[in-house]
Structure 1
Amino acid sequence: MSRPLASLPKAHLHLHFTGSMRHTTLIELARAQGLHLPDALEEDWPPQLRATDERGWFRFQRLYDIARSVLRRPEDIYRLVREAAEDEAAEGSRWLEIQVDPSGFAPRFGGLTATLELMLDAVDQASKATGVGMATVVAANRTRHPLDARVLARLATQYADRGVVGFGLSNDERRGEARDFEHAFRIARRAGLLSVPHGGELLGPRSVAQCVDDLGADRVGHGVRAAEDERLMQRLADRQICCEVCPTSNVGLGVAERAADVPVRRLFDAGVPIALGADDPLLFGARLLPQYQLAREVYGFRDAELAELARQSVRSSAAPESTKKELLRGVDEWLAG
């Protein structure tokens, strides 16, 4: 009999702020504000997406921007984070690193610093209320000028001891070379923040290599295209650079045709650390637990391997050492139970 995956202690390292919103919350906030949502976010949810061309990515971003527009008041921010933490707790996630780009909210909440402080306070309150350890990754937008990334990196370093644990780079990796953002990541790394850029999702293994070589990546968001290059996989394995693999997202955006095509098993067998992630459940219709269910039912992971997946997520996190030890002990107990 298989052990219940919801009781397997795990860390969630790839979850975007707006994309973590519950669909029911999106609908409720939109109606309260008299906002009309497109069918793709209401009757036809989750939307049918394919972002392997620029038109598809534009549509994905448009839906994301519409969803962000319902977050208008500080209480909306607190609600989103609290509900995200509650959902994590229900799925056995005991540590969450939520990725935020305060730029998209700054005009609404008094500027970059005020916005980040609001988000950090919401994370702190949600963590205390749910018992889920939580931290924040500040992410720059790859489609904006690298100088904007430097501003965000400097902002992130000011809160390195107040809840910010990493610096990321998100959005369409076809727009902007990783090396263009090297200065921003150097600022963040000097302050002790983890380097966690996106790469190897819409572009191939070279994108992952650039994240490692140019940005000093400790983890790579997605990174699945690394499976196309044996030598690159060996580098990731040797250096224990984690890939934050999000199978449902990969299918939703057309990176893979079917869940079975996402190379989770190939990466795992090559020794590449993996942290399964949900990316944007609001747009892909699945949170963290279904990713572990895919590992069991589609990729053929036995319970001992599922336990190792959970361990890899914990080891690759920025959680305090005491938290890591507690979670790893819980994984062992799950496997022995």
Structure 2
Amino acid sequence: MVLKAEIHCHLEGAASPALVESQARKYNVDVSNIISNGVFVWNDFTQFLKCYDGAANLFRSADDYALLSETYLNELADDDCIYSEMFISTDHARAIGISEQDYIDGIAEGMRRAKEKTGIEARMIATGLRHGGPESVLRAAKYIAGNPHPLITGFGMGGDERMHHPKDFAPGFDVARDAGLGITTHAGELVGPQSVRDSLDYIKPSRIGHGVRAIEDPDLVKRLADEQIVLECCPGSNISLKVYDGFEDHPFMALRAAGIPVTLNSDDPPHFHTSLKREYEIGANEFGLSDVELTQITRTAIKAAFVDEETRKQLLAKLD
């Protein structure tokens, strides 16, 4: 048994088709355009975002969010995961018409229930939406900075990487950093290495979400290794979104061999027909990693986690 940890998963994107269909019945919504035969249906990144939003819009109250976070964390714990960080979006809360506070409190209640039942630790990473523009990211950062919550320990940015320049978002990330939050951002997934470099220069994260296309630039690979920037890698997601044709083309092992700290994560698991368990299986079966090496990847994730040192110490002790 390999103990696992995850530091890159979008909470709304973790809702299973079965849970989404249950929510659809609750709110009398037709989801046949996004779910067929029990699986999410989409063909490209733009359609994926529409599918993601369609599912996310069925979580509309604090109770819905407690159910979602508890359900996902219980599933993780069943697969020997001891720690999870989930991306949340206060912009999404606003869009569906509930307060940011109700949204956060609901997620926190689900985390509390899951921890009580299974012992799993979890934290939230608040995010701004890149395609919402710099003002959206700044607003999200200001809200979180002005309304601190003990389970919100990081700030990041998701959404369409093809829109805007990282320097445009620097003010929002400065607000989050000044509030003591850990910093991460999506880069180097749909867009090449320059996206990663610009993010390092202007956003100054300690972690990069995905970051795999840094492999296309040897100087950037060296920089990531020298600065020990942690990559939140999501191989299953990368294959589903056709960033790479197959696992034999995926640069995970090359990035690891170059001395960059890498982790395994599920991103939006049911949308990409994956799970954290499957990502670790990909590590074993596709990349040839041993149980000892996979445990080291878990250790990397926990060391990079946006969590207090006492909790980190307890999590590392479980690995030992």
Same fold by TM-score, threshold 0.5 exceeded? yes
**Which sits farther off after the overlay, 256-265 or 121-130?**
121-130
Q: Give, as a single letter, the amino acid of the residue that structure 1 aligns with 2:133.
A: H
Q: CA deviation at 1:193?
A: 0.7
* Compared CA separation, residues 234 and 324, structure 1 to 2 (3 A): same
- The one-character-per-residue Cα deviations of 1:186-238 (angstroms, maximum 9, x if unpaired) are 01111111111100000011111111111011110111101112221221122
1:173-322 equivalence runs, <5 A:
173-322=161-310
Is contact 2:264–2:276 with CA below 8 Å preserved after alignment? yes
Q: CA deviation at 1:107?
A: 4.7
TM-score, length-scaled by structure 1? 0.89
Gaps of 5+ in 1: 52-56, 333-337
Is contact 1:160–1:193 with CA below 8 Å preserved after alignment? no
Is contact 2:40–2:51 with CA below 8 Å preserved after alignment? no
Q: Counterparts of 2:38 and 2:245 in 1: how far apart (Å)?
A: 20
Match of 1:45 in 2: 39
Q: Give, as a single letter, the amino acid of the residue that structure 2 aligns with 1:85.
A: L
**Which sits farther off after the overlay, 169-178 or 39-48?**
39-48
Q: Counterparts of 2:148 and 2:26 in 1: how far apart (Å)?
A: 36
1:1-337 equivalence runs, <5 A:
4=1, 8-43=2-37, 45-51=39-45, 57=46, 59-160=47-148, 162-332=150-320
Is contact 2:62–2:102 with CA below 8 Å preserved after alignment? no
Q: Counterparts of 1:330 and 1:124 in 2: how far apart (Å)?
A: 20
Give 3-state SS (helix, strand or coil) of 1:272's partner: coil
Moved over 6 A (4+): none
TM-score, length-scaled by structure 2? 0.94
**Which sits farther off after the overlay, 173-182 or 90-99?**
90-99
Q: Give, as a single letter, the amino acid of the residue that structure 2 aligns with 1:26.
A: V
Q: CA deviation at 1:161?
A: 5.0
Aligned residue pairs, count = 320
* Compared CA separation, residues 28 and 44, structure 1 to 2 (3 A): closer
